[in-house]
Amino acid sequence: MSRGTPLLETRNVTKLFGSVIALNGVSFSVHAGEVHCLLGDNGAGKSTLIKILSGVHEPTEGEYYFEGSPVRFTSPREALSHGIATVYQDLALIPLMSIWRNFFLGSEPKRGWGPFQRYDIDFAKRTVREELGKMGIDIRDPDQPVGTMSGGERQSVAIARAVYFGAKVLILDEPTAALGVKQAGTVLRYIARAKARGLGVIFITHNPHHAYAVGDRFTILKRGRSLGTYTKAELSREEMIRLMSGADELEAISHELEELARRDVQEDAIVAHVEEQLAESLESEAEALKRHPE
Amino acid sequence: MTVTATSPPKTDERLANVGLVQILLRRPEIGALLGASVVWIFFAFIAPTNWLSINGVARILDPSSTLGIMAVAVALLMIGGEFDLSAGVMTGTTGLITGLLAVKLGMNIWPAMFISLLFALLVGYLNGLMVIKTGLPSFIVTLATFFILRGANVGVTRLVTNQVRVAGIDEAPGFYTARMIFNTEFTFLGAEFRTTILWWIAITVLATWVLQRTPWGSWIFAAGGDPNAARNVGVPANRVKIALFMTTASAAWLVGMMNDLRLRSAVASQGIGQEFVYIIAAVIGGCLLTGGYGSAIGASIGALIFGMARVGIVFAGWDTDWFFSFLGIMLLAAVLVNDYTRKQAEALAVARAKARTESEEAEP
Ligand SMILES: Nc1ncnc2c1ncn2[C@@H]1O[C@H](COP(=O)(O)OP(=O)(O)OP(=O)(O)O)[C@@H](O)[C@H]1O
Ligand SMILES: [Mg+2]
C-alpha cells in the first residue's frame, strides 16, 4: 500500500502512564480513502493509541505526522481543527445537557457579529434532527437531556457528531458495541461512505465480522506492542479471527484448566490420605480405652 | 404483540404528563420560584401594611441586589463545577484597596477602583490556575485564599490607618460621579430605590443570555458536567474555569465598590461569612453542588428570598437573631424540593424512553 504520504502516521510511539507502559514503539498510519482496523485484546493499548492521534494524550516518545509534516497536538481542539474527529469509547457526552448542545459542543455554529455573536440554536436543532434521522434515530425533542437516552441512542449521537465534523479523518473506538443489528449496519455503511468520500477511517472493534466487512488494513496490538499490519489480501478472514480471538491464548487457557484439574485430583488424594490416618489413630485410641477402661 | 394492544388514551395521558415534568427538569429555578412565592405570601399575611407597600418592595430589593450580583456569579462558577470561598472576603479586600488608595494616597476614585479591579482579576486568575494545576478541590484552594485575604485585610488596614476601617472615601475626587453610577438612590413610584437593583437585573439578564444563547454557556455547563469529556470534544475547559473564577472576583469587586460608595468607608471585616450565603442562594436557585446544572435567574430568586427574609423579619417585629435559622430552614427546604422534582422528572423521562423502545420493538 504505497499511495503517497499517509494522512496520519505515528512512528515508534511509546506512551507511559507513570510506570505503566500502555504503548511500546507502535508505528501506525492511515491513508485517505482507507479503513484501517485496530484490533487486540482488552488493555492492548488501542484506545491509548487513538487518544494520541486525537490529541488527548501526548506521546512519551516517538513521532506523529499529519499529512507528512510533524505535529504535536496539545489538546483535542487542535486535532479537531485539522479535521480529525473521534468517537471515544466512553462517548464523551454530557448527560445533563441536551442532545443539540452535546452534538455541537466545542464547535458551536454562530450567528451575528462581534460581542453580539451568539449560538445559532435553530440551525443546531435542525441539523441534529437531520443527522440523527439519517442514522435511523428519530428524535422527537432535541432538548431531551442525553442522559435520558438509551445506550444505543447515545452512541448514535456520538457517531453522528464525529461523522458530521470529521473532514479528513474519522476515528471510531468500538462504535458498534451497544448497537442493535440494524444500527450497527448503518454505522458500517457510514464507514464505507466516509472511505468513498476520501476520508481516512480508523476503526476499533472486537467484532471480526464487522472488521473484515469494511477494513482495508488490519493492525493487531498486544500488550502495547504491534504484532504487525496486514492488508486484506495478506490475511484471510479465518486467520484474522484466529489472531483476534487469540487461539493461542485459548489453548493456553485450556492447558491451565487441565493443570488445575490435575492439581485438584492430587489434592483430593492428599485429603483422603490425611483422613485415613486420622481414622486409624482414632481407632487405635478407642481400642486402648477399651483395654484400660479405668 | 400484547404491548400494542394497550389502550391508547392511557399512553397519551402519560406522555402529556411527562411533557410538563420535562419542562420542570429543564428549569432549575422552579423550586426557588415556589419558595419565593411561599415566603412572599407568608409575610404578606404577617405584616401586610409594610410588606405590600411600594416602600416595602424597595426595602426588600435593596439587600437582595448586591447579594444577587454575587449569587449570579457564584452560580456560574458552580455550574462550571467549582466553588469560591474567597468571594465574600474579596468584597472587603477590593473595598479596602480602593479606600486606602483614595484616602491615604489621595488618588482619584476611578484609578483607585481600576487598581482594585486588577487585583481582583489577578486573585481570581490565581485561584483558577491553582485549582487546575494542582487538581485539588476548589473548596480547599479558595479556603486558603479566604484566610490569606482575611488576615491581610485586618493586617494591612491596621498597619496603615492604626484602625480596622478606612473612613472619608467621599473626599476623593470623582467620588460622586462613581456613586451616581454604581450606588445611588432614585425615586420611582414614590419610593426610593437604589441603582444597585438595576445592576443586579442587568447582570442576571447578561448571565442568562451567556448561559442560554452563546457557545460559552454550553462550555460552562460542559466544564462542570464532565470536564474530561468536554476537553475531548474541544472545549477549552481549563480556560473556562479560570474565566469563571475571574468573573466571581470581578463581581466581588463590583459589590466592594458599591459598599464603599454607599457607606463612604470600608471596614476590614466586610464580607466575611457571606461566601456561604452566595452558595446557599445559588443552591436554592437550583444549582447542583456537583456542577453542570443550574441557572442565573434561579440564583437571583434565591437572593430575593434572602432579601425578603431579612426585611420580613424586621417588618414582622421579630428578633433578627433568628435570621440565620430561617436561612438554614430555607436551604434545607429548597434542596429537598429541587432533589424531589429532579428525581421525579428523571424517573418519568426514563419511563418514557422505555415505553418508546417497547413500542418500537413491537412495531415490526
Ligand atoms: N489514563 C491512564 N492512566 C493509567 N493507565 C492507563 C490510562 N489509560 C490507559 N491506561 C492503561 O493502559 C493500558 C491500555 O489501555 P487501553 O485503554 O488503551 O486499552 P484498550 O486496548 O483500548 O482496551 P479495551 O479493548 O478494553 O478498550 C491498560 O493497561 C490501562 O490500564
Ligand atoms: Mg479501549
From the CA of A39, the nearest ligand is 1
Instruction: Identify each DSSP E strand in A18-157 by its residue range.
Output: 20-30, 34-40, 61-66, 69-70, 84-87, 110-111, 118-119
Residue B293 inside a domain? The answer is: yes
CA distance B306 to B323: 9
Q: Is A154 on the interface with B (CB under 8 A)?
A: no
For ligand 2, the distance from its centroid to the CA atom of residue A107, given in whole angstroms, is 25
Provide the CB-side half-sphere exposure for B110 (13 A, CA).
7
Q: What is the ipTM score, two decimals?
A: 0.83
- Residue B327 in grid coordinates: 436561612
Which of A89-98, A250-259, B242-251 has the weakest average pLDDT?
A: A250-259
pLDDT band at A276 (very low <50, low <70, confident <90, very high): confident
Q: By the 8 A CB rule, do B301 and B29 touch?
A: yes
From residue B123, alpha-carbon distances to B71, B82, B128 in Å are 19, 15, 9
- Residue A203 in grid coordinates: 476503526
CA distance B351 to B345: 10
Residue B126 inside a domain? The answer is: yes
Do strands A217-222 and A34-40 pair parallel, antiparallel, or not at all (unpaired)? Answer: parallel
Buried b (16+ CB within 10 A) or exposed e, A137-153: bebeebebbbbbbeebb
Buried b (16+ CB within 10 A) or exposed e, B319-329: eeeebeebbee
- Pick the closest to residue B245 from B363, B113, B145, B96 (CA basis): B145
- Pick the closest to residue B203 from B245, B241, B239, B252 (CA basis): B252
**Ligand 1: which of A47, A202, A207, A223 to mutate, most ligand atoms within 8 Å of CB?**
A47
Residue B100 inside a domain? The answer is: yes
- Pick the closest to residue B171 from B112, B118, B93, B120 (CA basis): B112
CA distance B71 to B178: 23
Bridge partners, residue B167, by sequence: B265
**Ligand 1: which of A39, A41, A48 to mutate, most ligand atoms within 8 Å of CB?**
A48
Q: Tell me the average pLDDT across A71-99.
A: 92
What would the CATH number be for the domain defined by A1-83+168-246? Answer: 3.40.50.300
Residue B315 inside a domain? The answer is: yes
First to last CA, chain B: 10
CA distance B130 to B242: 9
Q: Which atom of ligand 1 is nearest to the CA of A17?
A: 4
The per-residue pLDDT for B20 is 60
CB neighbourhood size of B45 (10 A): 9
Q: Evaluate if residue A1 carries a pLDDT over 50.
A: no
Look up residue A78 and give its amino acid. Answer: E
DSSP reduced 3-state for B240: helix
For ligand 2, the distance from its centroid to the CA atom of residue B60, given in whole angstroms, is 57
CB neighbourhood size of A293 (10 A): 5
The per-residue pLDDT for B9 is 39
The per-residue pLDDT for B138 is 94
Q: Which residues contact A273 (CB under 8 A, 6 or more apart)?
A: none
Q: Do A106 and B221 touch (CB under 8 A)?
A: no
DSSP state of B4: G
DSSP reduced 3-state for B93: helix
The per-residue pLDDT for B2 is 38
Residue B8 inside a domain? The answer is: no
For ligand 1, the distance from its centroid to the CA atom of residue A53, given in whole angstroms, is 15
CA distance A287 to B122: 94
Q: Is A148 on the interface with B (CB under 8 A)?
A: yes
Residue nearest to atom 3 of ligand 1 (CA): A17
Residue B364 inside a domain? The answer is: no
The per-residue pLDDT for B319 is 83
Residues from chain B that touch A110, judged by Cβ atoms under 8 A, are 215
Each residue's pLDDT tens digit, A218-245: 999 988 999 889 888 888 877 877 777 6
| Residue range(s) in chain A whose domain bears CATH number 3.40.50.300 | 1-83+168-246
Do strands A217-222 and A200-204 pair parallel, antiparallel, or not at all (unpaired)? Answer: unpaired
Each residue's pLDDT tens digit, A21-74: 999 999 999 999 999 999 988 889 999 999 999 999 999 999 999 999 999 999
Q: Evaluate if residue A250 carries a pLDDT over 70.
A: no
Q: By the 8 A CB rule, do A169 and A85 touch?
A: yes
The per-residue pLDDT for B217 is 95
Mutation target to probe the B interface, by most B beta carbons within 10 A, among A105, A118, A165 is A105
Distance of CA A275 to the CA centre of its chain: 53
Furthest C-alpha separation in chain A: 112
What range defines the domain where residue B238 resides? 24-40+49-341
Give the phi and the psi of residue A138 in degrees, each rounded to 5.
-100, 105
Bridge partners, residue A37, by sequence: A203, A218
Q: Which atom of ligand 1 is nearest to the CA of A18?
A: 4
Structure-model confidence comparison of residues A220 and A258, the more confident one: A220
For ligand 1, the distance from its centroid to the CA atom of residue A226, given in whole angstroms, is 15
Residue nearest to atom 25 of ligand 1 (CA): A42
Give the phi and the psi of residue B271 in degrees, each rounded to 5.
85, -10
Q: Which ranges of chain B would DSSP assign to H, the alpha helix?
A: 8-26, 30-46, 48-51, 54-79, 87-104, 109-134, 138-161, 175-182, 195-213, 215-225, 227-232, 237-263, 274-284, 296-315, 323-362
Structure-model confidence comparison of residues A196 and B115, the more confident one: B115
Residue B102 inside a domain? The answer is: yes
DSSP reduced 3-state for A62: strand
Residue B1 inside a domain? The answer is: no
If one counts the domains in chain B, the total is 1
Q: Tell me the average pLDDT across A249-274.
A: 66
The per-residue pLDDT for A271 is 65
CA distance A146 to A97: 6
Q: Residue B70: give its domain's CATH number.
A: 1.10.3470
Q: Which residues contact B248 (CB under 8 A, 6 or more apart)?
A: B70, B73, B74, B76, B77, B84, B87, B124
Give the phi and the psi of residue A171 in degrees, each rounded to 5.
-115, 125
- Residue A201 in grid coordinates: 477511517
Question: Cell 450565603 maps to which residue?
Answer: B277
Q: Which residues contact B262 (CB under 8 A, 6 or more apart)?
A: B179, B183, B194
Question: Mean pLDDT by 10-residue block, N- to C-terminus, for chain B (364 residues)?
Answer: 39 49 68 84 88 90 96 97 96 96 93 97 97 94 96 92 89 92 88 93 97 95 94 94 98 96 92 92 88 93 91 86 80 76 65 58 48
The per-residue pLDDT for A197 is 86
The per-residue pLDDT for B363 is 47
